[in-house]
Amino acid sequence: MRFRVAAVLAAAIACWAAWGVFIYQPPPDAMAPCSPNGPLACSTIDGFPLGTYVQDCGGQPDVCGDNAGLALAGLPAWDGLNHDVVHSAKYQLDMARFCGPVVCTLTSEYDIYVFEFADGSRHAIGVRCLGVSGQCDAVQTYTSGS
């Protein structure tokens, strides 16, 4: 009887070890880390996790479409001054930092526009377009999961 218990126990331990070593593979990270394709890609500006670089808008943000104009209009006037935009660019949201180690998707479009001003400062504004409605709004502060 003891031999059978020991044999069953040994078989159970062997199966458990084989499962852990050979069979079970932990899931990979849900999102691949950001792959930089520009000088600001995969960085953080004003709390916004910039993903890959999408488009250069130059000194005329409206070159990147209506959402760039919406982002420009959403810029606050820092220190009470309106600085001239000398350069702007569009970035995707860094989904690896947005989602963390889980699989996730957005139910909205989310782009980030980075504006460089004549004084050398840079500021980011997000533009979020909700679902199929196409309703877009500028977001001045990034909050994870929004």
pLDDT recorded at residue 41? 95
Predicted confidence (pLDDT) per residue in 99-139, tens digit: 776 667 666 788 999 999 888 889 999 998 887 777 899 98
Indicate the pTM of the whole model. 0.73
Neighbours of 86 (CB within 10 A): 13
Q: Which residues have a Cβ under 8 Å from the Cβ of 89 and sit 6 or more positions away?
A: 38, 40, 53, 54, 55, 56, 57, 113, 114
Q: CA 93 to CA 42: how far, in whole Å?
A: 9
Q: CA 52 to CA 38: how far, in whole Å?
A: 7
**Hey, where are the domains in the chain?**
44-139
Q: CA 142 to CA 41: how far, in whole Å?
A: 16
Q: Residue ranges of the chain with pLDDT lower than 70?
A: 1-31, 77-83, 101-103, 105-107, 144-146
